[in-house]
Structures are given as structure tokens and as C-alpha cells.
Amino acid sequence: MKKTILSLITLLAMALGANAQGYSLKASVEGIADGTKVVLVPMSHDQEDPIAEATVSGGKFSISGSVEFPRAVFLMVKNAYGTAEFMLENADITLSVSASKEKTRDGSDRYSFSNLKVTGSPLSDRLFTYLAKRDALDKIYNDNSTRFADIMDKIHKARMANNKNLVDSLSNSEEGKAMAAAEKLFFQTVEKTFTDAINENLDTYWGPLLTLNYYSYLTPEQQSLYNSFSDEAKQSWYGKKVKSEVFPGADDGGKAKDFSVDDNGTAKTLAQLCQGKRYVLVDFWASWCGPCRREIPNVKRQYELYKDKGFEVISISIDKNETAWKKAVEEEKLLWPNFIDKSNVAKTYSVRSVPSMFLIDTATMDIIASGEAARGENLAKKLAELF
């Protein structure tokens, strides 16, 4: 009996030890000077904090720790550009890589990584098969750029000279048509490659992980992609990252995130600005943004139609130059509340480009339209339905 209990205790201890085991990363690096600090940064579209740091010594470095879940990470030289990607999992991992350093135009360091080899990490092997698909597309793009360099240069120069006739002539030439056909085929291939890989992984974190890896940015137009993920995939760290981009401005419950803006020295929250209104359009823009200013006449039309029925517009400029912002407000004769972003409201709403618009139902504080769905004719149709 005692032997049985001891055996059970031993097995339990082994199981607990296996679960508690973290990762041990031993790396050999060529081309990175001794004393240089390297970091592991989670792969994401956001600026993530490093999860580990080490110093190169004798062309090597080692890091140990544990991860709550497998992390796709970038190996980077601290405070420099350039990355090498792999999966960090709780295992004994060996890595080797070569790097070459160059200066960017602004004088920063950039490292180009090559010959990356990772052993002891099955998840890295899987990641590399998906990265190979992306690398193959990069090669097609580079080959096309080389093949059509001459016609691309001619069209660019014609556009810079505002010579529309020459642009049309070049575009309709045999070489111009061949370039357009190759470009169309390339983007069709990109979309099919990315879609096929993601659709094969809708049930696990690999689906949203690949979504973040393949696409440079996400928009509300990709909400259907997020909705196709399983609950497990949505609840993963990667799934939550995808959600924050395709449902920008919404909290985990789908509600518009509250914020505070400076109104001539008085702080006003979104909740206060929504008081007495039925629907509010939050419009992120800038004085220097052409598309933003071209959208203003449409917003004005909707405002005049529905302002007496409970429609409000809140414009938030991301301008750094307050004088330029005030000048643009005066030029455009904006009659609704206008603010300049001094408290990172745009960051709160994951705004990566302007114009970015969010239509909010104040009764529930739900974001009922955003992105293209809250602009132009789409906005007009939506407001007509609501009012």
C-alpha cells in the first residue's frame, strides 16, 4: 500500500514538474557584436513590450523562463530594426542565425537575419511552413518589380509631371497591360494563399495568429473573418488581438470605449457628449488628410438632415499642429463639437489611419457601424434606416 501511494506521489510530482517546466533557449548568433542586447517581442500589430532580454557574449546568448501559451515572437536587436520569427514554447530550444547590420536613412541600425535554424520546437517548424508561403509570395512580388521596373518608372515620372495622357498611353501599352495582368494575378494569389491557410486553422489559435502574421493591418471589413473563428480561437491571445482591430473602439463586451477630451480646459467624456442624443458619429480626422476633408460634405448633409432628431457628430483631430487644426475647422465650417486628441483617444480606438469613423447607438453604447460602413453612401443609408 505504501509503495502504491509513493508511486502515485512520484507520478504526480513528475506531472507537476512537466507542467511547471518552462523554456530554455540557447542561441548562436553570427554578425551581432558581443555586449549587444537582444530581445524577444510578441508578434503583433501593436507595439508590444519584450517578454525576455539577453546579452550576446561569445557569439551566444541564452534565455530561460516560461510562457503561459505558445508565443510567436520576433527576435530583435534592442532598439534596432529587423526581425527573425519563431515560436517560443515551454521546451528546450536551440537556435542559430546570421545577421548583417546596416544603417537606415535616419541613422538607425537595421539587422537583416538569415539562415535561421530552430530545433526542439515543433511549433516553430509549423510556423516556418506558413512563413514559406509568404516568402514565396514576396519572391513573386520582387520578380514582378524587376520585370516591370522600366514601365513602372515611366508611369511614375508621368504622374509626377501630371501628364495624364502619357500615363494613359503607357498603361494601355503592351507592357503596361502585361504589368496590370501580373499585378492582378499576384493579388489574387495572395488572397487565395492567405485565405486557404487561415481557413485550415479556424478552430485553434493558429487561425488568428496567421491572420496577424499575413496581414499588415486589419479593418472592420474583416469582421466576418473573425466571426468564422471558433470560440477557442476567439478567446486566444491572438483572437483578442484580431478582435481589437476588426472591432476597433469596442471593449470586450462590444461597447464603445469611454474617453475624455479637453473642451477649453474642461474634461468631457464620451458619455457626457452623448447625453440627449440618439446616435453619435465619432470621426477621427486631420487637417492634412485629403480623404477626411472630402468626406466632410457628406457628413454635413447627414448632420443637417438628422441633427434635430438626435444625431450628433464628434470630430477628433489627430493633428500635432493645433493651429493647422483650428484653421481647418474654420475653413470647413464645422458646426458640431470638435476636439484635438491630447489624450490618445485614437490609440484607445485602435485608429491606424484617417478618416476613421464609429457610429454609436447611445441607448446601448454599441458601435453599430465603423470603417467603410460609417462613411459615404453607407452612412447615409444607415442613418436613413435608423431615423
The total number of structural domains in the chain stands at 3
Residue 7 falls inside a structural domain: no
Starting from the edge strand earliest in sequence, which strands make up the sheet with 109-119, in order? 60-65, 23-30, 92-103, 109-119
Domain boundary among 69, 94, 120: 120
* This model's pTM is above 0.75: no
pLDDT higher than 90, residue 194: yes
On whether residue 204 sits in a domain, the answer given is yes
- What pLDDT does residue 20 have? 53
208 preceded by a cis bond (ω within 30 of 0)? no
Residue with more model confidence, 129 or 290:
129
Residue tagged 464628434 (cell numbers): 314
Claim to verify: residue 190 and residue 285 sit in the same structural domain: no
Whether residue 48 lies inside any domain: the answer is yes
Residues 365-384 have a mean pLDDT of 89
Q: Do 111 and 175 reside in the same domain of the chain?
A: no
CATH number assigned to the domain comprising residue 323: 3.40.30.10
**98 and 30 co-located in one domain:** yes
Is residue 288 scored above 80 in pLDDT? yes
For residue 13, tell me if it sits in a domain: no
Question: Do the beta carbons of residue 249 and residue 350 sit within 8 Å?
Answer: yes
Query: What's the mean pLDDT in 259-287?
Result: 94
Q: Do residues 54 and 35 make contact, with C-beta atoms less than 8 angstroms apart?
A: no
Beta strands 71-77 and 84-88, pairing class:
antiparallel
Which of 216, 246, 276 is where one domain is finished? 246
What single letter denotes the amino acid at residue 194? F
pLDDT average, residue stretch 84-94: 97
The pLDDT, as a whole number, for residue 17 is 42
Looking at per-residue confidence, does 11 or 174 come out higher? 174
Task: Assess whether 144 and 218 both reside in one domain.
Answer: yes
> Is residue 287 predicted with pLDDT exceeding 90?
yes
Cell match 500615363: residue? Answer: 167
Summarised one tens digit per residue, pLDDT across range 338-347 is 999 998 899 8
Show the 3-state SS of the chain: CHHHHHHHHHHHHHHHHHHHCCEEEEEEEECCCCCCEEEEEECCCCCCCCCEEEECECCEEEEEECCCCCEEEEEEECCCECCEEEEECCCEEEEEEEEEEEECCCCCEEEEEEEEEEECCHHHHHHHHHHHHHHHHHHHHHHHHHHCHHHHHHHHHHHHCCCHHHHHHHHCCHHHHHHHHHHHHHHHHHHHHHHHHHHCCCCCCHHHHHHHHHCCCCCHHHHHHHHCCCHHHHHCHHHHHHHHHHCCCECCCCEECCCEEEECCEEEEHHHHHCCCCEEEEEEECCCCHHHHHHHHHHHHHHHHHHHHCEEEEEEECCCCHHHHHHHHHHHCCCCCEEECCCCHHHHCCCCCCCEEEEEECCCCEEEEEHHHHCHHHHHHHHHHHC
Residue that terminates a domain, selected from 73, 98, 120: 120
98 and 185 in a single domain? The answer is no
pLDDT, one tens digit per residue, over 291-301 is 999 999 999 99
Pair 307, 300: CB distance under 8 Å? no
Cell numbers for 204: 485553434
252 in a structural domain: no
- The verdict on 134 and 114 lying in the same domain is no
Rounded CA separation 3/382 (Å)? 73
Per-residue model confidence (pLDDT) at position 68: 95
Share of the chain above pLDDT 70, in %: 94
Look over the chain and give the mean of its residue pLDDT values, rounded to a whole number: 90
Both 91 and 205 in a single domain? no
- From 70, 49, 31, select the one nearest 238 (Cα to Cα): 70
Tell me, yes or no, whether 264 and 382 share the same domain. Answer: yes
Say which CATH number the domain at 70 has: 2.60.40
Q: How confident is the model at residue 253 (pLDDT cuts 50, 70, 90)?
A: low
On whether both 208 and 232 belong to a single domain, the answer is yes
Can you tell me the mean pLDDT for 127-145? 95
Same domain, 186 and 143: yes
Query: Is 265 part of a structural domain of the chain?
Result: yes
Whether 52 and 149 map to the same domain: the answer is no
Residue 17 placed within a domain = no
* Structural domain contains residue 40: yes
Q: Which structural domain, as residue segments, surrounds residue 68? A: 23-120
Per-residue cell: 280: 453619435
